[in-house]
Each structure stands twice: as C-alpha cells, then as structure tokens.
Amino acid sequence: MAEFENPYAEEDPFVQAHFDCLDCGGKLWEYAIQRQMVCEDCRSVFRSSDIFDAQV
C-alpha cells in the first residue's frame, strides 16, 4: 500500500522549533524563508540568530 503523503507538508513554511519564546515562554515556530521565528502565543517575532544566541 502506498504511503499517504500530505501534499501541503512540504509547502508549509512553518516548522516548529525547539525553542521557547523569550517573552512568554510559548512555543516558537520557525519561518524558514525569512529565518525568523514567531511565537504561537503572543505572536512576537524573533530573528533565528537572536534565539540561538539566547539559548546557548
């Protein structure tokens, strides 16, 4: 049986990142094209580089 593949999966620009929001601690979603992350709770947008620096 062929595996079902979600046709939208590869086009979804958002990837859940394993980082917490710097403001509220919510989950961040990475916007791969812009190299930015957006918080799912407070909608704050961070640059990925800022998140990496903060989490190290």
- CB 32 → Zn ion: shortest distance, Å? 19
The answer to whether 39 contacts Zn ion (rule: CB under 5 A) is yes
- CB 21 → Zn ion: shortest distance, Å? 3
> Would you state the structure tokens that stand for residue 24, as one six-digit string?
């509220």
Reduce the DSSP state of residue 5 to 3 states and report it. Answer: coil
Strands ordered across the beta sheet of 36-39: 14-20, 27-31, 36-39, 45-47
- CB 37 → Zn ion: shortest distance, Å? 10
Contact set with Zn ion (CB under 5 A): 21, 23-24, 26, 39, 41-42, 44
